[in-house]
Structure 1
Amino acid sequence: MAVHICVKKDFGGFMLDVDVKSDSKRIGILGASGCGKSMTLRCISGIVKPDAGIVKVEQNVYFDAKAKINLKPRERSIGYLFQNYALFPTMSVEKNIGIGIRGTKAERKEKVEQMMERFQIESLRNRLPRQLSGGQQQRAALARILVCNPRILLLDEPFSALDIHLRDKMQQELLEILEDYGGTVIMVSHNRDEIYRFSEELFILDEGAVKGKGDTKQVFNNPGSFAAAKLTGCKNIAQARQEGDRTADVKAWDMKFQMRRKLPDNLSGVAIRAHEFQIEKPQEEPYLVFPVCGPRVTEDLFEYNIAFYTSENAKEPIQWKIGKDRFEAKRQNIPNEVYLKEGKLLLLESEKY
């Protein structure tokens, strides 16, 4: 299902200028708090009217500023799962699910029963939202949305209100539910793991604008921009200056990387994921050597975090994460150098989007 979302909105001190085109069924928008993720969904749904642009799904135009088209939210065939689920507080679960259904009384009742069975909330039919757990509220909200079979499902930070244990459980349940959903899902989140699991195509949103886009796995493997590198979880990001075709000078780390591959002409930085460093030299691939000076070790439940400088002149430390099954920092000496496969040095270019 082709989706075209090109909207501009001046919120007075914050400008939203988003352009998203995709044929994917699972679209992810990743960004930090305050970057415009939720406002983008509100513009898509019709809750907020953009100043300019277009919102189009297949041949259905929901908003077109030039053509003066602006369908009301109820006319857009869009399901919206809010962060707080937005269940009606004085209505039971059963009535919440049935409130937007059209048809005869018998048809409405049958659809509600089917959704309660599908989401395994039959026993909760007479409860009010305040009598439900966070996970139960989410299931009730999803049942209310999907009973109308919308073309698009908007998920606004759907797991942010859940604790870690329930979050993992609900993520798996939602993945199973979405397997049977034939429409397009647009999910926004600041959590890179959630976005990685749920989306096929990813858009990086930073300060109201798209700063990266592409196949989700490809964006994580090669972020391309500073914003994308940071939001996809790179712990080591530094400015770089190109010297010739194959040398990158990174002053913050006091290092010059001699590369076998040719560098892009608009190189502006480099990034390294903290778990990519190795203790042993790679045998079959070109690698880069990082001296380890002044290491500081902090311990997590399953891994060690080691911050080190590459020399006395380095201005910024490098973060290295290593699992306890691979390295016991309390019993082993920290090595004098670690290694990085050349391909794991991510090259960041001047903003392209």
Structure 2
Amino acid sequence: MKFENHNVFKKAQENMNLNEAMADENRWLRIHSINKKFDSFTALNDINLQIKKGEFLCLLGPSGCGKTTLLRIIAGLEAQDSGGVIMSGREIGNLPPAKRNYGIVFQSYALFPNLTVSANVGYALKSNRVEKAKRVSELLDMVDLNGTEHRYPAQLSGGQQQRVALARALATSPSLLLLDEPLSALDAKVREKVRQELRHLQKKLGVTTIMVTHDQDEAMEIADTIAVMSNGRVEQVGTPEQIYREPASRFVAEFVGSANWLSAQLSSDGKISLAGLPQKVMNEKALSSMVNVESTTEVTLFCRPENVQIEAHWQANSQAMMAEVERVEFHSGQRRACLSLCANRAIRILADVGPNDAGYPLLEVGRRVPVTLPAHSVRVFHGAEK
């Protein structure tokens, strides 16, 4: 019996250790309670983030929101006023940059113009000449730049310079890769190609990566997780799809993607109506905190254009509203229609409709069509439309 109890205890201990190890992997890099002021300006206000090992995190937000300041604090290039940075269980928040084990790529790439590609990539390597040459060759092969060893940065395209900077950042096999708007200097076509290469390389190496960007398409395409920032705060952390489909705040909803913002009314009994027509919303639990028991409350409905449905036929007892097609444009294989509600012509709705959707052939200017806003895609925010 004692032997059996010992085995049970041993198994429980093993499971506990496994759970702890998994928890540590899920918070391999922890940023806790980071605050930073520049004179009277608050750059960062109580920033808390947990980043998994091997994860690609994008810090997304407009200029001046604090994302680059946060990256520089993680790198040790800027000192926080309070809070800390823990990497793999070790507090690094007060260590100098050289002790933090990261590689970094700046917006300007910061290549040495008087050094060759090979010398730039191998700059931080401390090994002997033979080993250094071997490592540089491996890195240039990794970023598809073999044959450029003896060129200088000025002889390379912007995309090639970016890849040299990336190879240099990876030269010492860092645990963490930091990218400060590394693609912003490239033209649109090259930027798209290089970001695909960057994502492929990051996945291949499994290196934990934090990238600063103000480009929502960039973040949506390559990140595992996005932290949306505004005015020195983290507004929301989630997968690209969560950020897009389930914005936690009005700022996130407005900043990421295009959307319909529709003035609606919330009655004292908790019912939503748009131009007097009843509507269902995704976050109905939030309605109770918005209700004014004495009068109707002005609210705003949020719905993405691709979620608006144009019905083939009007059905009684449905949520459909009649609308007139005012304008039709062609965008990336879809028709984007601007519709005005027949119940209130001042309310206009954008709808992105694909060729396989039932309402696609009905989109002709001047025609009246039934329109539905599916409850699962409509969110309500407090206050009137801005």
Common fold: TM-score over 0.5: yes
- Residue 227, structure 1, aligned to residue 251, structure 2: yes
8 Å CA contact retained: 2:329, 2:335 = yes
Classify the secondary structure of the residue corresponding to 1:318.
Answer: strand
- Gaps of at least 5 residues in structure 1 are 64-69
Deviation at 1:194, TM superposition (A): 2.0
Instruction: From the CA coordinates, give the structure whose radius of gyration is larger.
Output: 2
Deviation at 1:313, TM superposition (A): 5.1
1:258 to 279, 284, 293: 279
Worse-matched range after superposition: 220-229 or 190-199: 190-199
> What is residue 15 of structure 1 aligned with on the other side?
43
8 Å CA contact retained: 1:152, 1:184 = yes
- Residue 96, structure 1, aligned to residue 96, structure 2: no
Deviation at 1:101, TM superposition (A): 1.0
- Gaps of at least 5 residues in structure 2 are 1-24, 291-298
- Residue 4, structure 1, aligned to residue 25, structure 2: no
8 Å CA contact retained: 1:271, 1:346 = yes
Deviation at 1:147, TM superposition (A): 1.2
1:43 to 69, 73, 76: 73
Looking at structure 1, the residues matched to 313 and 248 of structure 2 have their Cα atoms a distance apart, in angstroms, of: 25
| Letter in structure 2 aligned against 1:10 | K
| Letter in structure 2 aligned against 1:116 | L
Looking at structure 1, the residues matched to 249 and 366 of structure 2 have their Cα atoms a distance apart, in angstroms, of: 36
> What is residue 17 of structure 2 aligned with on the other side?
none
1:128 to 142, 152, 156: 152
> What is residue 209 of structure 2 aligned with on the other side?
185
Looking at structure 2, the residues matched to 281 and 224 of structure 1 have their Cα atoms a distance apart, in angstroms, of: 33
Looking at structure 1, the residues matched to 265 and 49 of structure 2 have their Cα atoms a distance apart, in angstroms, of: 31
TM-score (norm 1): 0.84
1:175 to 199, 203, 209: 199
Give 4+ residue runs of structure 1 displaced > 6 Å after superposition: none
Looking at structure 2, the residues matched to 200 and 245 of structure 1 have their Cα atoms a distance apart, in angstroms, of: 41
Deviations 1:286-338 (A, max 9, x none): 97434425724455464444334435756663333334776468866543432
> What is residue 62 of structure 2 aligned with on the other side?
32
Classify the secondary structure of the residue corresponding to 1:320.
Answer: strand
Classify the secondary structure of the residue corresponding to 1:168.
Answer: helix
> What is residue 306 of structure 1 aligned with on the other side?
337
**Cα 1:282/1:157, change in 2 over 3 Å:** farther
- Residue 317, structure 1, aligned to residue 348, structure 2: yes
8 Å CA contact retained: 1:225, 1:349 = no
TM-score (norm 2): 0.77
Higher helix share: 2
Identity, % of aligned pairs?
Answer: 29
- Residue 272, structure 1, aligned to residue 299, structure 2: no
**Cα 1:336/1:182, change in 2 over 3 Å:** closer
Map residues 97-246 of structure 1 onto 2, 5 A cutoff: 97-238=121-262, 242-243=266-267
| Letter in structure 1 aligned against 2:43 | M
Looking at structure 1, the residues matched to 182 and 329 of structure 2 have their Cα atoms a distance apart, in angstroms, of: 32
Classify the secondary structure of the residue corresponding to 1:4.
Answer: strand
The alignment of Structure 1 onto Structure 2 pairs a total of residues equal to 340
| Letter in structure 2 aligned against 1:222 | E
| Letter in structure 2 aligned against 1:289 | A
| Letter in structure 1 aligned against 2:156 | L
Classify the secondary structure of the residue corresponding to 2:368.
Answer: coil
Worse-matched range after superposition: 317-326 or 38-47: 317-326
**Cα 1:336/1:135, change in 2 over 3 Å:** same
Higher relative contact order (CA 8 A, sep 6+): 1
**Cα 1:307/1:27, change in 2 over 3 Å:** same
8 Å CA contact retained: 1:290, 1:339 = yes
8 Å CA contact retained: 2:336, 2:352 = yes
8 Å CA contact retained: 1:226, 1:348 = yes
Deviation at 1:44, TM superposition (A): 0.9
**Cα 1:174/1:334, change in 2 over 3 Å:** farther
Deviations 1:81-138 (A, max 9, x none): 2122111122111111011112222222211111112222122112221221111011
